[in-house]
Amino acid sequence: MRCNSTLFLVMLFASTYSAASEPIKVASKNFGESYILGELTAQLLEQDGFDVERRFGLGGTLICYEALASGEIDLYVEYTGTIEQAILKLTERASIAELNERIAEKGIRLLEPLGFNNTYAIVVTRDVAERNGLHTVGDLATARDLKVVLSHEFLEREDGWPGLAAAYGLSSQVVGMEHGLAYQALNDGEIDVMDAYSTDGELKRYDLTILDDDKGFFPEYLAVPLIRKDLPARAVAVLRQLAGILDDPGMQAMNAEVVFGKRSFADVANEFLVNKGLADERLIVDAIWPNLVRNTLQHLKLTGIALAAAILVGVFASLAVFRIAALSRALIYFSGLLQTVPSIALLALMIPFFGIGMYPAIVALFLYSLLPILRNTITALTTLDPTLIRVATAMGLSNREQLRYVYIPLSLPSMLAGIRTAAVISIGTATLAAFIGAGGLGDPIVTGLALNDVGLILQGAVPAALLAIITELIFELIERLVLPGHLRVEAAG
Amino acid sequence: MRCNSTLFLVMLFASTYSAASEPIKVASKNFGESYILGELTAQLLEQDGFDVERRFGLGGTLICYEALASGEIDLYVEYTGTIEQAILKLTERASIAELNERIAEKGIRLLEPLGFNNTYAIVVTRDVAERNGLHTVGDLATARDLKVVLSHEFLEREDGWPGLAAAYGLSSQVVGMEHGLAYQALNDGEIDVMDAYSTDGELKRYDLTILDDDKGFFPEYLAVPLIRKDLPARAVAVLRQLAGILDDPGMQAMNAEVVFGKRSFADVANEFLVNKGLADERLIVDAIWPNLVRNTLQHLKLTGIALAAAILVGVFASLAVFRIAALSRALIYFSGLLQTVPSIALLALMIPFFGIGMYPAIVALFLYSLLPILRNTITALTTLDPTLIRVATAMGLSNREQLRYVYIPLSLPSMLAGIRTAAVISIGTATLAAFIGAGGLGDPIVTGLALNDVGLILQGAVPAALLAIITELIFELIERLVLPGHLRVEAAG
Amino acid sequence: MTNCVEFRGVDKSFVFGPDGPKKVLDGIELRFPEGITTAVVGESGSGKTTLLQLINAVLEPDAGEVRVFDEPIPDQHREKFRRRIGYSVQGAGLFPHMTNRDNVVLLAKLEGWIDDLIEERYQVLLAEMGLAMDVSNRYPRELSGGQQQRVGLCRALMLRPRLLLLDEPFSAVDPITRIGIYERFQAVQDHEGVSAVLVTHDMREAVRLAGNLVILREGKVLQHGPPQDVLNAPAHEYVEMLVKEHL
Amino acid sequence: MTNCVEFRGVDKSFVFGPDGPKKVLDGIELRFPEGITTAVVGESGSGKTTLLQLINAVLEPDAGEVRVFDEPIPDQHREKFRRRIGYSVQGAGLFPHMTNRDNVVLLAKLEGWIDDLIEERYQVLLAEMGLAMDVSNRYPRELSGGQQQRVGLCRALMLRPRLLLLDEPFSAVDPITRIGIYERFQAVQDHEGVSAVLVTHDMREAVRLAGNLVILREGKVLQHGPPQDVLNAPAHEYVEMLVKEHL
Ligand SMILES: Nc1ncnc2c1ncn2[C@@H]1O[C@H](COP(=O)(O)OP(=O)(O)OP(=O)(O)O)[C@@H](O)[C@H]1O
Ligand SMILES: Nc1ncnc2c1ncn2[C@@H]1O[C@H](COP(=O)(O)OP(=O)(O)OP(=O)(O)O)[C@@H](O)[C@H]1O
Ligand SMILES: [Mg+2]
Ligand SMILES: [Mg+2]
């Protein structure tokens, strides 16, 4: 008995320890609803004392899923339709249980759906619905003279309008329009019918009516937490509290709060949890700043580590080979070749070796940074005034001492120029790292490019630009400290 | 009468002149069949004495269509289904006449279809068809135990399997597989049914049977020349000869020749024209090389012009501002900011100003090349031995003469290092230019990335790498010619 | 009699260290007669090089005025002004990236001299300085110290300037070669009436070449006048030492 | 009597121009006695600097052998060998990126001397060379030519080398300061028995400081021996001219 209780204590300690040291990594995809759901799960876990690390805004289903399968993240909220089609490539509808069975071998499981179904919807204003007696999608077939406007994507996808029209025998003349503009046009009465996602915040805001898809044409996209099987039982129990808790209007309302109320994901998620009695109220600061800080820090980390490595390797390699012209040339050619691999291809090439996330991004950035550093260092070292080198030799400085006291200080301006160029180019290139889930300021840029959201793009581009300027300033400071004084003397005179 | 005939002569001359001086620009998209069709039209025009410029491999429907609408190209072969859906965003089938009517306002017209229809098809081996009595897609519903394997895309698209299964009431269990592998598997008898494009060369090679889409589920994708209305009447007449000339098996055969016969697009197209009595036989060299040469030349053009401009602007700007520390800094910061704009975003940003094609690519490359040149030049100019500057002043050299005889030659090594770095980075970045139809070695890379064709990627990546090496070698030669001799003296000693 | 150079109450300071600027030349009042050589002799660091660089306006005086050929130094087109003054830099100061020939002929080329004329003058100068033609296509770094110094002299003489500023021009040249150069120099001066300011540490050289002698110490003029006057009547203990050393 | 330096049939050529290599030193046979100064005098370009650089192995002889303190020059650890030889470079050759103090004390720091010792020696040297302490934190470019040359001398003397190679070390120093340095130099040599090779164009300096005199011309030794012997019996027309010039 005594023995057992000791064991129990050890296990308790171990689990506490692991909870304390290894945070649960919660991810989201890079669109609003997914961020909110990420916050919901994250805050729920935090409420229960878990340590949570947010890895939000990953670039798509595949990256999320791969990250989960490889254990780089512990959970995220996915949609059943997506699991069926994009992940498992099934052609028929499958139940949650069936999905769970098929996905089990990857060490992953689905929890119960949250409740809402985020699928395509055909919507009209309440006014239009009443005047035309519209209840189901099929009712559109008889209603005449309705202006139907659809988003370009919905128009083109066969599981969008073409299929729907076939299924319900619709023959309306339709026009394509930007999704964002269509809501406004609908509200202004300029158009009558449009497509939407069933949880769009606009549905609530404009009090729109969803026409019933009574033939079940649109597949189900139920939100479900997708978790690693090895998640602690207590965490699973905590997450289970979300089962069936959130219906379509609820999700619409939260999306609307974010889009129209300009509130942060975290804030909206917290309010929901408080209302459900699942969490205490917390003070949440405006989300733009923490995001910005987090992205900037991550960006700094990516470029900082890559640059530090490139400086180390570049400078040492240069010092090692510069006396041998052929080797110097080979080194420069090689790092030049790396530059000709397009950045996206290079990042993609890294995945087999380093997986997704920070490491491949750092390796790629490191490789890109080498050329300017190597070339400038080698050029400077090989074009020094040979008289001074002869003097250094004559005085009795060893090779190493010559490097330290003559070559390096005299090459420093050119060397630093190369490093600064590499640093700034890195800051630019690192925005691509978001493509493989490495985060950083590319996150808002990539998301912004995808969503055509200029504000979001600027949330990445402006700090990146500032970072470049600050980097320049810091290097100027460093130069002031390390540049041989005689240059400063001249600058003054 | 005399007056009239003079006018006629003038017009004749004018048209001949314009034919001679302004070639007809024939485009294609970036997949094999489109290249063949591009060659067909191009060679037919050439046979009739027209001067043709090939702009093949543009990156997608939108870029082709925009280029045609803006007059950057004169014609290419498109598919009716694509015109309906992707270009005109129609939701209903439209006749050629209707399409022509809608597209007319853009200054574009459709000619008669070539004859074949490149749509989705469900195929089986002749053997399987006979054993199971399969003729139509609907027959699959009754046949049991057939292994159905589909490409991932077809599996996911609602206008692919899901729609088809619904339309024909099919319930077979299906599996996803790489399209390229499936043909082999089908031929080996490992699978029974797969999807295909109705003009795939493999259909002919493996003697496969297309199951009849008797319910007309798959839309029609008839190939039609899409031409600018202002194309000379004689050219239109020439192109009209293609009407109805090419059926599905004919297109299959040509695709097979390219894929399995390893013959060039041009060669295959020429044979077809000769057989139809529309053109003389011509000697056509293996197509990889001309493509490679063309891409490489285009790449050189892009990077060459951009680099030349960057050298000019970079060096002159440096010489103009280096004496004023604040201005130098501002210039370097500004060019650093440009580096933080991710390349794809920069290319996209250029489109409103410079359209698609070469110009925006060159402008973007130019902007990216500035930083290394500026920084290295300014650094070198500001860290020269001030004693020599004092001597130059004391001797009576004017500012301009000091630049010419002292500053520039002494800064040359660092300057050239910056230029070489910029050149190599440009060669790498220029591979992205293919995204906006600027051609170059990015063409095969982008196509290869899209088609997952390593061979194609290498057709771009290897010459790009070689180009980088050759650039280095050329610069070494240049350095040998322009570097002040005292450095060479030292290198020798 | 006109003066080739005139200093009117010239001060010049350099900043070094935390003690603020230090006066390197202090109230210099001097007139150098035209057509003869003025020798400037004095302690190392006494301001001789600074004095020369004030004449060709590489440095600006902090106070006072420098006049050259009885005119103030022009504010504009200084390169033209400077080209009429040949300056042989202490320690040669050749451009390392130009061959020795290019160093010498650069200014003549910029002045648009025809090639034959340049080549003729170049060859004469080289011969006068006792340099072999094989130095022409070499770079300064490939010459001995004394050879470099003489190439620098050729450069200063190339344009036949009216005024020569010579900063220890023969210090690295051996005595025998030096005598030859002295003779050529005196012949040219007699013939063309060139004015010269010669900085030297060699009192015998100063007495031999100069018609006017200036003794500097710690930025101040100790004595000046014809060499024989100075030798005969040293006005200061330091001058006396110099004279004694000369004998 | 041991020799500090010995040349055994040494040849040295440089390549310049298309005529192939040219012999700069030709069959040099010389022995410099230990503990005294050997002065090397000769035409500019006659190979004096080359001779010095063969001693500290900055250059390799094409033929023959150079021995230092009766041993061949080691193949390895040459930096140790060179540190025992103080070398004052023609024209100072200071590192432009180090302050004057750093130029002087660099080797002592690398040798691991304690700071107090370094500082003490530094101050003594500066005083002996007539340099003010305010040159310490300035860069070489901020000194006059003669000041730079003396900083270079301090650097050569810093480690108290057994052998000094002095390449025209006083050429830019004024005669009065020079006399002070001569005296310090002779006192140190008498006291510590340092050997020195002094390249100079000043025959009087050579006669005053050296116990052994070598006359070079066009890469060949014209005469060598104690100065008085050379003065009394010049063995060659050129030597005769030098002697005459000296008087
Ligand atoms: N790096 C070099 N390349 C080619 N020739 C050289 C090189 N260094 C020296 N020489 C030549 O070798 C000869 C001897 O040079 P060295 O420097 O030894 O002369 P020196 O006796 O020291 O002359 P000075 O008194 O002028 O310093 C000269 O003719 C010089 O031109
Ligand atoms: N750039 C500078 N910065 C600070 N001090 C300087 C600078 N140039 C010269 N000096 C100082 O000014 C004083 C005069 O220098 P100058 O070069 O005129 O002396 P000089 O008489 O030519 O000496 P030398 O005979 O040694 O060449 C010296 O004390 C020197 O240290
Ligand atoms: Mg001086
Ligand atoms: Mg010498």
Distance (Å) from CA B387 to ligand 2 centroid: 13
Q: Measured between alpha carbons, how far is B188 from B144 in angstroms, rounded to an integer? A: 20
- The nearest alpha carbon in chain A to D76 belongs to A398
- The nearest alpha carbon in chain B to A337 belongs to B465
Q: Measured between alpha carbons, how far is D116 from D128 in angstroms, rounded to an integer? A: 18
For the cut 50, the answer to whether the pLDDT of residue B32 exceeds it is yes
> Which one, of D49, D41, D50, D53, lies nearest residue D213 by Cα?
D41
Q: CA of D159 to nearest chain A CA: how many angstroms apart?
A: 11
CB < 8 Å to A490, chain D: 141
The reply to whether ligand 1 has any atom less than 6 angstroms from the CB of D44 is yes
Whether residue C44 lies within 8 A of chain D, CB to CB, comes out as: yes
The reply to whether ligand 2 has any atom less than 6 angstroms from the CB of D144 is yes
Whether residue C141 lies within 8 A of chain A, CB to CB, comes out as: yes
Q: For residues C62-83, give the mean pLDDT.
A: 88
Residue B374: pLDDT band (50, 70, 90) is very high
Q: For residues B345-364, give the mean pLDDT.
A: 69
- The nearest alpha carbon in chain B to C96 belongs to B486
Q: For residues D104-109, give the mean pLDDT.
A: 92
* Ligand 2 atom closest to C216 (CA): 21
CATH 1.10.3720.10 fits B288-492, yes or no: yes
ipTM of the complex: 0.75
Distance (Å) from CA C62 to ligand 4 centroid: 38
* Ligand 1 atom closest to C174 (CA): 25
Candidate from A391, A398, A410 with C-beta closest to D79? A398
Supply the pLDDT for residue B17: 37
Report every protein residue that has its C-beta within 5 angstroms of ion ligand 4.
Answer: C 144-145; D 49, 90
Interface list for chain A against chain D, based on CB atoms closer than 8 Å: 387-388, 390-398, 401, 405-406, 409-410, 484-487, 489-490
CB < 8 Å to B415, chain C: none
| CA-atom Rg of chain C in angstroms | 18
Q: CA of D102 to nearest chain B CA: how many angstroms apart?
A: 20
Tokens for B128, please give them. Answer: 């399987």
Q: Which ligand is nearest to the CA of C148?
A: 1
φ, ψ dihedrals at A120, nearest 5°: -65, 155
CB < 8 Å to D96, chain B: 385
Q: For residues C211-229, give the mean pLDDT.
A: 89
For the cut 90, the answer to whether the pLDDT of residue D179 exceeds it is no
Whether residue D141 lies within 8 A of chain B, CB to CB, comes out as: yes
Tokens for A258, please give them. Answer: 């974010």
CB < 8 Å to D199, chain C: none
Cβ–Cβ under 8 Å, residues A242 and A190: no
Pocket test residue of C131, C137, C138, C143 for ligand 1, highest count of atoms within 8 A of CB: C143
> Which one, of B385, B395, B471, lies nearest residue B427 by Cα?
B471
The reply to whether ligand 2 has any atom less than 6 angstroms from the CB of C16 is yes
Beta-bridged to residue C67, according to DSSP, are C6, C72
CB < 8 Å to B383, chain D: none
Cβ–Cβ under 8 Å, residues B246 and B115: yes
Beta-bridged to residue D87, according to DSSP, are D165
Supply the pLDDT for residue A449: 57
For the cut 50, the answer to whether the pLDDT of residue B1 exceeds it is no
N residues, chain C: 247
For the cut 70, the answer to whether the pLDDT of residue C173 exceeds it is yes
Strands (E), B212-323: 223-228
DSSP per residue over chain C, as a string? --EEEEEEEEEEEEE-STT-EEEEEEEEEEEEETTSEEEEEE-TTSSHHHHHHHHTTSS--SEEEEEETTEEPPSS-HHHHHHTEEEEBTTB---TTS-HHHHHHHHHHHTT--HHHHHHHHHHHHHHTT--GGGTTS-GGGS-HHHHHHHHHHHHHTT--SEEEEESTTTTS-HHHHHHHHHHHHHHHHHH--EEEEE-S-HHHHHHH-SEEEEEETTEEEEEE-HHHHHHS--SHHHHHHHHHH-
CB < 8 Å to C95, chain B: 388, 391-392, 405-406
DSSP per residue over A322-375, as a string? TTSHHHHHHHHHHHHHHHHS-HHHHHHHHHHHH-SSHHHHHHHHHHHHHHHHHH
Supply the pLDDT for residue A2: 34
Classify residue D239: in a domain, yes or no: yes
Whether residue C58 lies within 8 A of chain B, CB to CB, comes out as: yes
Supply the pLDDT for residue A1: 33
Q: Interior CA angle at D47 toward D45 and D50, to 5°?
A: 125
Higher pLDDT, D101 or B84: D101
Residue B349: pLDDT band (50, 70, 90) is low
Class level of CATH domain A2-115+221-275: alpha beta
- The nearest alpha carbon in chain C to A385 belongs to C96
For the cut 60, the answer to whether the pLDDT of residue B3 exceeds it is no
Distance (Å) from CA C44 to ligand 2 centroid: 8
- The β-bridge relationship of strands D195-199 and D163-167 is parallel
- Whether the domain at B2-115+221-275 and the domain at B120-211 fall into the same CATH topology: yes
Considering only CA atoms, which residue is closest to atom 22 of ligand 2?
C49
Supply the pLDDT for residue B489: 55
Beta-bridged to residue B210, according to DSSP, are B123
Q: Measured between alpha carbons, how far is D81 from A400 in angstroms, rounded to an integer? A: 16
Classify residue D160: in a domain, yes or no: no
| Residue B282 φ/ψ region, left for φ over 0, alpha for ψ in the -120 to 50 degree band, beta for the rest | beta
pLDDT (tens digit per residue) in A212-263: 888 888 888 899 999 998 888 888 988 988 888 888 888 988 888 877 776 7
For the cut 50, the answer to whether the pLDDT of residue B493 exceeds it is no
The reply to whether ligand 2 has any atom less than 6 angstroms from the CB of C47 is yes
For the cut 60, the answer to whether the pLDDT of residue B53 exceeds it is yes
Three-state secondary structure call for residue D174 = coil
Q: Measured between alpha carbons, how far is A39 from A263 in angstroms, rounded to an integer? A: 13
Probe site for chain B from C103, C139, C149, C167 (most B CB atoms < 10 A): C139
> Domain limits at D25?
1-77+198-247
Class level of CATH domain A120-211: alpha beta
Candidate from A387, A394, A409 with C-beta closest to D97? A409
φ, ψ dihedrals at C197, nearest 5°: -115, 120
Supply the pLDDT for residue B77: 93
Q: Interior CA angle at B169 toward B164 and B170, to 5°?
A: 75
Q: Which ligand is nearest to the CA of C167?
A: 3
In chain D, DSSP finds a helix count (H) and a strand count (E) of 9, 10
Residue B436: pLDDT band (50, 70, 90) is low
Candidate from C142, C145, C174 with C-beta closest to D49? C145
CATH for C15: 3.40.50.300
Pocket test residue of D22, D48, D55 for ligand 1, highest count of atoms within 8 A of CB: D48
- The nearest alpha carbon in chain D to B383 belongs to D97
Q: Measured between alpha carbons, how far is D6 from B416 in angstroms, rounded to an integer? A: 47
Supply the pLDDT for residue A323: 87
The number of domains in chain C is 1
Pocket test residue of C48, C51, C170 for ligand 2, highest count of atoms within 8 A of CB: C48
Cβ–Cβ under 8 Å, residues A119 and A198: yes
> Domain spans of chain A?
2-115+221-275, 120-211, 288-492
Pocket test residue of C15, C43, C46 for ligand 2, highest count of atoms within 8 A of CB: C46
- The β-bridge relationship of strands C220-225 and C212-217 is antiparallel
Tokens for C223, please give them. Answer: 């004595």
Whether residue D213 lies within 8 A of chain A, CB to CB, comes out as: no
For the cut 60, the answer to whether the pLDDT of residue B225 exceeds it is yes
Please give the single-letter amino acid code of residue B403.
Answer: L
- The nearest alpha carbon in chain C to D20 belongs to C134
Which of A71-85, C95-109, D224-238 tops mean pLDDT? Answer: C95-109
- The nearest alpha carbon in chain D to A390 belongs to D58
Please give the single-letter amino acid code of residue C46.
Answer: S
pLDDT (tens digit per residue) in C23-60: 888 888 889 998 889 999 988 888 999 999 999 888 88
Whether residue B448 lies within 8 A of chain A, CB to CB, comes out as: no
Q: Which ligand is nearest to the CA of C45?
A: 2
Q: CA of D127 to nearest chain A CA: how many angstroms apart?
A: 22
Q: What part of C 76-115 touches A (C-beta under 8 Å)?
A: 96
For the cut 70, the answer to whether the pLDDT of residue B453 exceeds it is no
Matching residue, tokens 């680099």: B307
Q: Measured between alpha carbons, how far is B241 from A96 in angstroms, rounded to an integer? A: 58
Q: Measured between alpha carbons, how far is B426 from A230 in angstroms, rounded to an integer? A: 48
For the cut 90, the answer to whether the pLDDT of residue B178 exceeds it is no
DSSP per residue over A119-181, as a string? -EEEEEEHHHHHHHT--BGGGGGT--S--EEE-HHHHH-TTTHHHHHHHHT----EEE--HHH
CB contact under 8 A, A469 and B333: yes
> Which one, of B420, B430, B428, B414, lies nearest residue B477 by Cα?
B420
pLDDT in tens, chain A (493 residues): 333 333 333 333 333 333 445 789 898 876 778 889 998 999 999 888 888 887 776 656 766 787 788 787 899 999 988 888 767 777 777 888 888 888 888 889 998 899 899 888 899 988 888 888 888 888 888 877 788 877 766 766 667 787 788 888 887 777 666 666 678 778 877 788 888 888 888 888 888 888 888 888 888 889 999 999 888 888 898 898 888 888 888 898 888 887 777 677 888 888 898 988 888 877 655 456 777 888 888 888 889 999 999 999 999 999 999 888 888 888 888 888 888 776 656 665 665 566 556 787 888 889 889 999 999 999 999 888 888 888 999 888 988 999 999 999 999 989 999 999 999 888 888 877 766 667 788 777 765 654 445 677 788 888 888 888 888 889 888 888 887 777 765 443 3
pTM of the model: 0.70
Residue B431: pLDDT band (50, 70, 90) is confident
* Ligand 2 atom closest to D146 (CA): 26
Classify residue D116: in a domain, yes or no: no
Considering only CA atoms, which residue is closest to atom 3 of ligand 2?
D142
Classify residue D176: in a domain, yes or no: no
**Cβ atoms < 10 Å from Cβ of A283:** 6
Supply the pLDDT for residue A8: 33
Distance (Å) from CA C187 to ligand 3 centroid: 26
Q: Interior CA angle at C219 toward C217 and C223, to 5°?
A: 50
Classify residue D114: in a domain, yes or no: no
Cβ–Cβ under 8 Å, residues A224 and A96: yes
The reply to whether ligand 1 has any atom less than 6 angstroms from the CB of D14 is yes
Beta-bridged to residue D31, according to DSSP, are D6
